[in-house]
Amino acid sequence: MAFLEKFRKGAEKAGIQATAFLKEGSSRVQSGSQSLVQGFSLPGEADKAAKILETFLADPSHPQSALNAIPKAVLQRARGLAVFQVIKAGFVFSGKAGSGLVIARLPDGSWSAPSCIATGGIGWGLQIGADITDFVIVLNSEDAVRAFSMGGNVTIGGNISAAAGPIGTGGSVQASLAHPAPMFSYSKSKGLFAGLSLEGTALIERKDANTDFYGSAIPARDILGGRVPPPEVASRLYEIIEAAEGLDESGLPEEAYVPTPEGGHIQVQGHQTVFDAGH
Please report, rounded to a whole number, the percentage of residues in the chain having pLDDT higher than 70. 77
- Does the structure show a pLDDT above 50 at 202? yes
Specify the pairing of strand 80-104 against strand 115-139.
Answer: antiparallel
Contacts of 250 (CB under 8 A, 6+ apart): none
Q: For residue range 73-115, what is the model confidence (pLDDT) as tens digits?
A: 999 999 999 999 998 876 656 677 899 999 999 999 999 999 9
Assign 150 a pLDDT band (cuts: 50, 70, 90): confident
Please tell me which residue, 6 or 165, carries the higher pLDDT value.
Answer: 165
Distance CA 261, CA 82 (A): 20
Burial level of 272, CB count in 10 A (0-12/13-18/19+)?
middle
Report which of residues 258 and 104 the model is more confident about. Answer: 104
Contact 165, 182 (CB under 8 A): no
The highest-confidence range among 15-24, 157-166, 233-242, 267-276, by mean pLDDT, is 233-242
More confident residue, 138 or 35: 138
Res 166 pLDDT > 90: yes
pLDDT at 3 over 60: no
The pLDDT assigned to 6 comes to: 44
pLDDT averaged over the chain?
81
CA distances from 60 to 86, 239, 243, 244 (A): 28, 12, 7, 6
249 or 121: whose pLDDT is higher? 249
* 64 pLDDT tier (thresholds 50, 70, 90): very high
Dihedral sign (CA 111, 117, 123, 126)? positive
pLDDT at 273 over 90: no
Question: Of residues 234 and 274, which shows the higher confidence score?
Answer: 234
Question: Which residues, 6+ apart, have CB-to-CB distance to 1 below 8 Å?
Answer: none
Given a contact cutoff of 8 angstroms between Cβ atoms, the answer to whether 72 and 58 are in contact is yes
Instruction: List the strands of the sheet with 167-168, edge to edge.
Output: 167-168, 256-259, 265-267
pLDDT at 97: 86
Can you give the three-state secondary structure of the chain, one letter per residue? CHHHHHHHHHHHHHHHHHHHHHHHHHHHHHHHHHHHHHCCCHHHHHHHHHHHHHHHCCECCEHHHHHHCCCHHHHHCCCEEEEEEEEEEEEEEEEEEEEEEEEEECCCCCECCCEEEEEEEEEEEEEEEEEEEEEEEEECCHHHHHHHHCCCEEEECCCECEEECCEECCHHHHHHCCCCCCEEEEEEECCEEECCCCCCCEEEECHHHHHHHHCCCCCHHHHHCCCCCCCHHHHHHHHHHHHHHCCCCCCCCCCEEEECCCCCEEECCCCCCCCCCCC
- How far apart, in Å, do the first and last CA atoms of the chain sit? 48
So what's the pLDDT on residue 55? 96
Predicted confidence band of residue 125 (pLDDT cuts 50, 70, 90): low
Provide the percentage of residues in the chain whose pLDDT is more than 90: 51
Strands 192-194 and 202-205: unpaired
pLDDT of residue 266: 85
10-60 residue pLDDT tens: 434 433 433 343 344 434 444 444 444 445 799 999 999 999 999 999 999
- Does the pLDDT at position 155 exceed 50? yes
